[in-house]
Amino acid sequence: MSVDAQTGGHQRLMMRGRADQGDWAGFECAVDRNFTDVVENELIVGTEEIFGPDGSALMNTRFEFHDAPENKTKLIIRQGPLTESLAGQNRYGWESSFTKLDVLLTAAA
């Protein structure tokens, strides 16, 4: 993984499905996102090219960080445009990522 968290920077990583993830076993997807706007502790906006059966498309991702009660942070993620098929895959990917993060944070507490 490589991250240069500043406007004009990038995020590069490889997502992989584990062997026990059924249809996602063996899945691999390279992420090569370029950051177009970064405001520390507030906002990260980036673009990346995604590839599918109909060719490639430019996808935008926006992460907004907001103060929430009890000294917590609310994260809003907007991503698109996505086809219906890609939207479902994308939703699954984010949900599984947050499930893994919850496990790690609980273990660290």
Q: Tens place of pLDDT for every residue, the chain, 109 residues?
A: 899 999 999 999 887 777 776 666 777 777 899 999 999 999 999 999 876 666 677 899 999 999 999 999 999 999 998 888 778 878 888 888 888 888 998 898 7
Answer yes or no: is 38 within a domain: yes
What's the token pair of residue 33?
């996102």
Answer yes or no: is 105 within a domain: no
Enumerate residues 6+ apart whose C-beta is below 8 A from 75. Answer: 63, 64, 65, 66
Q: Which domain holds residue 16?
A: 2-81
What pLDDT, on the 0 to 100 scale, is given for residue 52? 63
Answer yes or no: is 90 within a domain: no
CB atoms within 10 A of CB 8: 10
Answer yes or no: is 20 within a domain: yes
Q: What is the pTM of this model?
A: 0.78
Total domain count, the chain: 1
Closest residue by Cα to residue 15 from 80, 85, 96: 96
**Where are the strands (E) in the chain, listed by range?**
2-3, 10-16, 28-39, 43-52, 55-68, 72-80
